[in-house]
Amino acid sequence: MADHYLGDAAVVKGNLLLPRIGAWTAEVWLAGNEAPAVGTQTVLTVAGTDRAATVIASSSDYLQAKCRVVAGAGRLQSEIQAKDYRGYTAPDVVRDILTEAGETPGTWQQVSSIQVQTWQRTRGPCRNALQRFLRLVTGDTVWRVFDDGTVESVDDAFDVTGTSQTFAELASWGQERLLLLGVQDSVIRPGDAVEAFGQDRRLDRCLYEFDEDNFKLWAWYL
């Protein structure tokens, strides 16, 4: 049985949703009835993989502690003010957006060569400002929150990270572009590829479901 934790508290069951763009989220049920307070910055460990997280909802109903956590500082939905930019590089603008919201930016090397002559940021959620800016300057830059909590641009290589030697092939739905796999850890993620049911599948979204007896991955592919 794999070990799962939120901070020092054992997780008895949960789910972890990893999107290709944006921040992952998770719901976890803890052993005992003490839930961490909303806003607590912690680490979610799923089968040995640590991910920096922030608690955004918690309860202890029916003597069962339950939490919802999100990647990083949990500030991508926070409101930031309007601002004008002139003569900046794209990474400068991105870092300013994220820092003002309370998130930690990465290097953003994928957009480092882009110069911004002028851009006006409107008031609203940090995530919206980031997406609008990236659509304007690049069209399709992929970004997400890394395990260490930094928000970073990504150039997905879709390298094969799993085969039928490392997971169990449970089911496949071609029309939905969906795989169900039995796994031992949570290292497979969007931007990777898996070799399943005789084909390489480029992953777009991953949903892990786990409890004391089961560990499954629902994987949507492109």
pLDDT in tens, 96-143: 999 999 999 999 998 999 999 999 999 999 999 999 999 888 877 899
Q: Report whether pLDDT(182) > 60.
A: yes
Long-range contacts for 199-207 (Cβ within 8 Å, ≥24 apart)? 200/160, 202/158, 203/20, 203/158, 204/20, 204/177, 205/17, 205/18, 205/19, 205/20, 206/17, 206/18, 207/15, 207/16, 207/17, 207/18
Share of the chain residues as helix, strand and coil, in percent rounded to the nearest 5: 15, 50, 35
pLDDT digits (tens, 9 = 90+) for 161-174: 888 889 999 999 99
Q: Where a domain ends, among 101, 129, 154?
A: 154
Specify whether 107 is located in the same domain as 144: yes
**175, amino acid identity:** Q
Q: What is the pTM of this model?
A: 0.94
Evaluate whether 80 touches 103 at the Cβ level (below 8 Å): no
Q: Where a domain ends, among 16, 47, 71?
A: 71
Helix axes of 126-137 and 90-101: crossing angle, nearest 10 degrees: 170
Distance CA 74, CA 221 (A): 26
Range of the domain at 43: 4-71
Specify whether 169 is located in the same domain as 206: yes
Q: What are the φ and ψ backbone dihedral angles of 55, each rounded to 5 degrees?
A: -75, 125
- Name the helix (H) or strand (E) containing 128: helix 126-137
Give the count of alpha carbons within 13 A of 27, CB side only: 5
Q: Report whether pLDDT(2) > 70.
A: no
Specify whether 93 is located in the same domain as 36: no
> What average pLDDT is seen over the chain?
94
Distance CA 53, CA 45 (A): 10
Q: Where a domain ends, among 38, 71, 104?
A: 71
Of residues 162 and 206, more confidently modeled? 206
3-state secondary structure of 62: helix
Structural domains counted in the chain: 3
